[in-house]
Structure 1
């Protein structure tokens, strides 16, 4: 009996139907398996066609990478900006806090000298420089904030020693300057007038540097009732005028000149200090002096940090206000 070979049926593996499995080889370029009877060049062509990226895929990947890079750069820029802002605020706030603490310790020691008319117990006067007016942020069409710069001097006494303290601003011609401190002692019994004279005659270079970037330094005096002193104060004791005040002729609603003599001193001293941030200050100083620098400073109201203190004077004599 003659047997015929089994016929091939779809879906049945070659080994099951009695036929040998075709030999396969792996392409070294694309790592794909192909029948051994296919030409090598054809196999590589098929491998390359199977493993290549399309132009659309490349463009999508490029766009995604660009978005990621832009996002990272923006994040780093914001982080750097926040870091610089925080560092600037820390520097300005720390310097302002140190200056106000120093001023508080000095001002609370003001002491009347009970001396002759030419012995100044307290002195504050506006500097002869153009006023710097800065528009208020959020209200550019409003009246604006007026920055005032003043010099200040006062006497203090500790035991048998008189001390003259002074605060002066230099390089203030364009609305920005540096604050310096004067301090000199005198033996008890000597005329304290020498301290006042020394303050006016001492050059800035011989004073102590306190802080840079000052654009506002305003002084106000108050009586024992905590009322702002805006008129001349007289006393029945000798001399007749123990405190002389000159009203403002340039700055509205402000006092430009305080002078206290004899037994009169302010009961309270209010002081405002405005400090410009370092980066804005350096840029302002890089601009040539004149209108250009003043115009730039006028637009930097948001970069100014204001500090205000009101110091009670412990040695005030109420008789000077009666």
Structure 2
């Protein structure tokens, strides 16, 4: 593939994931830059001028449709506007974030263009002239590299802590008037926003996570006590969500949230790829696990081998003593 222009579908507004925009642009910029192309961001919403300006600060062109009728996500509007943009810049790839919006829009777009698409990708690179997407399989137990043999490439990308490189020049913001076009069989009725726990683990400086090693649900209270003692927030690995202990808003990992705290304490977490991807950019990682062969120790800066049910109460007591 000699030249790759990349379209990124960005998000802003109620029920959408603005925090995914930066890492999405970073992935697109890496791909476009390696192939001598450019990045064009599509942003549709209501009162999204600030988000458009932030995207332009990354040095990309931003096509923005800003109007009250775009408050709610409407796939027909996005597909119609993407079709115009595809005709204008002939992209080699179209990327969306692996969010509720992206997971709905990407397969629709791929079907309309009659091309293949890759989902839940964590990286994209050019190898031997082919664009390869890296994605987890079997709930994160395997990491696969996939190459699509259709053009344009369509993929959804997991949010990460990656940021676009500093731009030499600010990109342009172009206002467009988006409409649903001829096919408006799908229309939004209302947007249901998930209940917020009041704590966003993705923004915390200190995160204390518990895993299957806690044994029983009542033992998660140890994680909450330690988190409170160190001035952090409690979180968990996927098994605790699967068992119904906590909601996905507390989950660190590929299918949960990506965190980048200054300190990450993993308690009773084995260190599956699914989980490690969500915390690998933490400043200092402390792991507590009774299995000396646990994969989490390969990621940890400090490893403690022992039973979390014995170690956490002692650690909490010591922290409280020091802080007092």
| TM-score in terms of structure 1 length | 0.21
Larger radius of gyration: 1
**Quick one: higher RCO (CA 8 Å, sep 6+), 1 or 2?**
1
Greater strand share, structure number? 1
